[in-house]
Amino acid sequence: MARADVIVLGAGIVGTSIALHLAKRGLSVVLIDRGPAGEGTSYGNTGIIEGNTIFPQVFPSDWKALIRIALKRAPEANYHLSFLPRVAPWLAAFRAASRPERVMETAEFMRPLFTRAVAEHEALVAESGAARYLVRHGWLKLYRSDAAFAAQARELDVAAKLGIANVPLDRDAALALEPSLAPVFRHAVHWTGAVSVTNPLALTRAYAARFAALGGIKLTGDARTLHRVDPSWSVDTTAGPVDASDVVVALGPWAPDVLEPLGVKLPLAVKRGYHRHFRAQGNAALSRPVLDAEKGYCLAPMEQGIRLTTGAEFAARDAAPTPVQFDRLLPSARELFALGDPVEPQPWMGSRPCFADSRPVIGRAPGQRGVWLAYGHGHWGLTLGPATGRLIAEMMTGATPFCDPKPYGAERYTQ
Ligand SMILES: Cc1cc2nc3c(=O)[nH]c(=O)nc-3n(C[C@H](O)[C@H](O)[C@H](O)COP(=O)(O)OP(=O)(O)OC[C@H]3O[C@@H](n4cnc5c(N)ncnc54)[C@H](O)[C@@H]3O)c2cc1C
């Protein structure tokens, strides 16, 4: 039986960052995943490290948008009808958390993590030799109508108060930044402080390699074998059982598979999302990720091609993929940018692990000594992986955490 100080379950960007932070602090750490590092949700995101984020995604307040979604005509969202009864309580909580005063509260709770997001990646990138995957050109949000641009005035106001860098642009100024875009929009905002990643899988792999270089061990195993062997925890791996007094559950959308049998039941839902890479036609190119705000998709330049990513799909995590949003949004995407042939035969699908209040859970598991939680990062797991890694490592080693972890505690659901 191998023994470590800490077992980290899940080698996505969150678990890998945690394992690396713990190893940097001198702990012996075993990182366990059923597959190689970075091949879950962390594989397929848009690659934006968006420390600029202020407000969370909200439940639509506009009836026209809701009707479009209900009629399955919206490019930005899709759902499986049979799943709605199951997700209804979560949706009700999400709607309640979308009230303006709650959204502002979320913004305040999340700011300390976002403030550190880019700097924490930069620190890990520097020591992992992964600087080549980071692009420091910010990201661009496009607005096709004056109304949509006006609707985010509050975000720009708050950004100004918080000193978050952005440059509102007219169409010509945006086209000067991204000459391959077609002039089908009227306004843009350039969030200059955001950083983008040209290969999110390679980034997680680089952090995993750094973890290994520090003496960390990555093993293959099924996290669902976690069980108590008093006073420790044990997990079965292909190299045999591993024991540790502390275990961190960083399984993203799969966390409930391990936690619910232990009686830790927190209301996680998934917002599924898809991507597909396309070749660019001719000399068309992008220097940074671009959001077509009213159409609800992103185009991001990746090593594999131009990655087109979709918004949310409410469906069971393990239900078969239904990438119908591509049919709805591809005409707009092709109008905006000269997309050529798709690179892969089928789109990739992932599941954003989301709590209704748009905050992750980071901290101790209620009622299970030695179990720590770090999951539910929703739309921002790539952004917040390293900041989460630092925060939980500081909590676990008794150091002063760089921010107050209370807003991320599981207790908000159990008390
Ligand atoms: C389309 C899309 C676009 C996105 N764009 C962005 C973006 O631009 N910026 C951003 O910050 N975030 C973005 N996100 C969100 C981000 O990708 C996720 O929040 C993040 O990847 C979650 O990371 P994680 O480490 O928690 O989970 P994961 O990456 O899913 O890692 C969980 C790991 O657990 C492992 N696992 C599961 N079950 C078991 C088991 N039984 N035993 C062992 N191992 C197991 C899996 O193999 C996996 O490796 C996007 C997401 C999607 C879907």
pLDDT (tens digit per residue) in 29-39 = 999 999 999 99
Tell me, using a 6 A CB cutoff, whether residue 288 lines ligand 1.
no
Pick from 352, 358, 362, 372 the residue to mutate for probing ligand 1's pocket: most ligand atoms within 8 Å of its CB.
352
Query: How far does the centroid of ligand 1 lie from the alpha carbon of residue 95, in Å?
Result: 24
| CB-CB contact of 204 with 14 (8 Å) | no
Q: What is the DSSP letter of 149?
A: H
Q: Are strands 240-249 and 2-9 parallel, antiparallel or unpaired?
A: parallel
User: For residue 158, how many other CB atoms are within 10 A of its CB?
Assistant: 15
pLDDT (tens digit, 9 = 90+) per residue, 278-326? 999 999 999 999 999 999 999 999 999 999 999 999 999 999 999 999 9
Distance CA 138, CA 121 (A): 15
Which atom of ligand 1 is least distant from the CA of 222? 42
Query: How far does the centroid of ligand 1 lie from the alpha carbon of residue 173, in Å?
Result: 35
pLDDT (tens digit, 9 = 90+) per residue, 256-272? 999 999 999 999 999 99
Tell me, using a 6 A CB cutoff, whether residue 205 lines ligand 1.
no
| CB-CB contact of 29 with 9 (8 Å) | no
User: What pLDDT sits at residue 415?
Assistant: 76
Ramachandran quadrant class, 367 (left: phi over 0; alpha: psi -120 to 50; beta: rest): left
Pick from 379, 392, 408 the residue to mutate for probing ligand 1's pocket: most ligand atoms within 8 Å of its CB.
379
Query: In the structure encoding, which two tokens stand for residue 218, read together?
Result: 């990555």
Pick from 258, 309, 382, 408 the residue to mutate for probing ligand 1's pocket: most ligand atoms within 8 Å of its CB.
382
User: What pLDDT sits at residue 225?
Assistant: 98
**pTM score, whole prediction:** 0.98
Tell me, using a 6 A CB cutoff, whether residue 379 lines ligand 1.
yes
What amino acid is encoded at 78 in this protein? N
| CB-CB contact of 335 with 182 (8 Å) | yes
